Amino acid sequence: MRVLITGGTGLLGRALIATRPPWAEVVATVRRALGDPSPPPCVVRELDVTDRAGVAATVAAVRPDWVVHTASIDDVDYTETHPDLTREVNVGGTENVVCPCAETDARLAFISSNAVFDGLAPPYGEEDPTSPVNQYGKLKVEGEQLVLASGVPHLLIRPILMYGWNHPRGRPNPATWLMARLGRGEQVRVVDDVFSNPIFADHCAQAIWRTIELDQRGCLHLAGRECLSRYEFARTVARVLGTRPVSVEEGLQRMQAVRDWRRP
C-alpha cells in the first residue's frame, strides 16, 4: 500500500515514518529540507501545501492509496497573531490536498486536534458537536468541514497533547520545551487545573497505521491512557528524562489557568 504523508518533518510526520509497517510504501513531503543528519528511510519530496499545482502534481505522480495530511501550523499563539497565513496553510493547504484525492480515488486521513472543543464538558466523544474557542481550533474545524464535504473516503483524527522527539530544528512540543527550559536552569510556571491525556507521538502514529490497515472511516479521537494535569505531566516528564527531583521542585511552579473566554 502506498501512503503519502504531508509534513514529514513535523512531530507526527516523523513518528509515522519511524513506525511505518512493512506493508506500507511511504512517500513523505517536506516544505523545506532541514538538514536532518539521519535522513528518513523513505522517499522525500519537497512540497509546500499552499502550492495547489504542486500538490496536484505530487499526488498524481505518487498515486497513493492513502494520504495522511499532517502538514499545518500548530502553534496556537502564532495562529492568533498570524490568522491569514495560518488559514492559507491549514485551510487552503487542506483544500489543495482534498481536491487531487477526489480525482485519484485516494483515501484521506486528516489530522485535526482536540482544539475543536472548548474544554468545558470533557471527556468528548467523536459525535459531540465542535465548539472551538481559539483561531487554531476554528481553522481545524474548517479543515474538517472541507474533508466532510468533499466526498473523499476519509478519517478525521483528533490527537490530544502529543509529545515526543521533534526534529532538532523543528518546533518543540510540551515535553522537549519543558526539558530545554529546565536544562537551562529556568523556572517554568505550569498550570495544575487543566487536564488532558497526553499521547506519545509514536503511539499516535501506530494507531493511525492500524486504522489505515483496517481501512476505517469516520472520526477518531486518540489519547493516552492517563489523565494528568499539565503540572503532573511536567513532573513526570522531568523525572523520566533524568532531571533531579530537587530541580523539578525548584524549577516547576504551580499556577492556575487564566480563562478569560469562560467569563460571561
Q: pLDDT digit of tens for each residue in the chain (264 aa)? A: 999 999 999 999 999 999 999 999 999 999 876 555 455 678 999 999 999 999 999 999 999 999 999 999 999 999 999 999 999 999 999 999 999 999 999 999 999 999 999 999 999 999 999 999 999 999 999 999 999 999 999 999 999 999 998 877 778 888 988 888 888 778 888 888 889 999 999 999 999 999 999 999 999 999 999 999 988 998 888 887 765 544 555 556 666 654 443 332
Query: How far is CA 78 from each of CA 41, 71, 75, 134, 178, rounded to the nearest angstrom?
Result: 31, 15, 5, 11, 19
Which CATH number is 2-161+198-222 given?
3.40.50.720
The pLDDT of residue 206: 98
Distance in angstroms (rounded) separating the CA atoms of residues 10 and 57? 22
For residue 32, what are the CA distances in angstroms to 70, 93, 262? 15, 16, 39
How high is the pLDDT of residue 242? Answer: 67
Yes or no: say if 96 and 35 are a contact pair by the CB < 8 Å rule.
no
The CB-side HSE value for 39 (13 A sphere, CA atoms) comes to 8
Determine the pLDDT at residue 259.
44
Task: Supply the pLDDT for residue 169.
Answer: 74
Terminal C-alpha separation, the chain: 51
- Is the Cβ–Cβ distance between 131 and 118 less than 8 Å? yes
- Mapped onto helix, strand or coil, the DSSP state of residue 26 is strand
Domain with CATH 3.40.50.720 in the chain: 2-161+198-222
Q: What per-residue confidence (pLDDT) applies to 190?
A: 84
